[in-house]
Amino acid sequence: MLLWVFRGIFFTIVVGILLFSASSATISREVNSTSFWAIIWSGFGMAVFVFALDILTPKRKLSALAGVFFGLLVGLLVSGALAPAVDMVADSYQINIIPEARAAIKWMLGICICYLAISVVMRTKDDVRFVVPYVEFAKQTKGARPLILDTSVIIDGRISDLCQSKMFDAPLVVPRFVLNELQLIADSADKLKRNRGRRGLDMLNKMQMISTIDVEIDETTVPEVEEVKGVDQKLVMFTRSRNGRLATTDYNLTKVAQVRGIDVVNINDLASSLKVVALPGETMEVKIIKPGEEAEQGIGYLADGTMVVVEGARNKIGQELVISITSSLQTSAGKMIFGKFEGYVQDTERDYRRMSYKKPAETNISENNKD
In the predicted structure, residue 187 carries a pLDDT above the cut 80: yes
- Other Cβ atoms closer than 10 A to 238: 25
pLDDT in tens, 246-292: 999 888 999 999 998 889 998 888 877 776 667 788 888 899 999 88
Rounded to whole angstroms, how far apart are CA atoms 263 and 247?
A: 9
For range 57-64, the mean pLDDT: 54
C-alpha of 46 from chain center: 38
Higher per-residue confidence, 165 vs 365 = 165
Beta strands in 188-258 (DSSP E): 215-218, 245-248
* CATH number for the domain whose boundaries are 276-349: 2.40.50.140
Domains 147-272 and 276-349 share a fold: no
Q: How far is CA 246 from CA 119, 160, 174, 239, 284, in A?
A: 30, 15, 11, 6, 36
The most confident of 45-59, 313-327, 346-360, by mean pLDDT? 313-327
99-113, 136-150, 241-255: segment of lowest average pLDDT = 136-150
Percent of the chain beyond pLDDT 90? 10
Closest CA to 233 of 173, 175, 147, 182: 175
Domain boundaries, the chain: 2-123, 147-272, 276-349
Residues in contact with 350: Cβ distance below 8 Å, sequence separation at least 6, in sequence order: none
Least confident of 96-100, 153-157, 180-184: 96-100
Average pLDDT, the chain: 75
88 phi, psi to nearest 5 deg: -65, -40
Q: Determine the pLDDT at residue 247.
A: 92
Q: What is the pLDDT of residue 274?
A: 72
- pLDDT confidence band for 49 (50 / 70 / 90): confident
Residue 37 CA to residue 101 CA, distance in Å, equals 10
The CATH class for the domain spanning 147-272 reads alpha beta
Q: What angle do CA 330, 332, 333 make, to 5 degrees?
A: 90
Average pLDDT over residues 316-344: 83
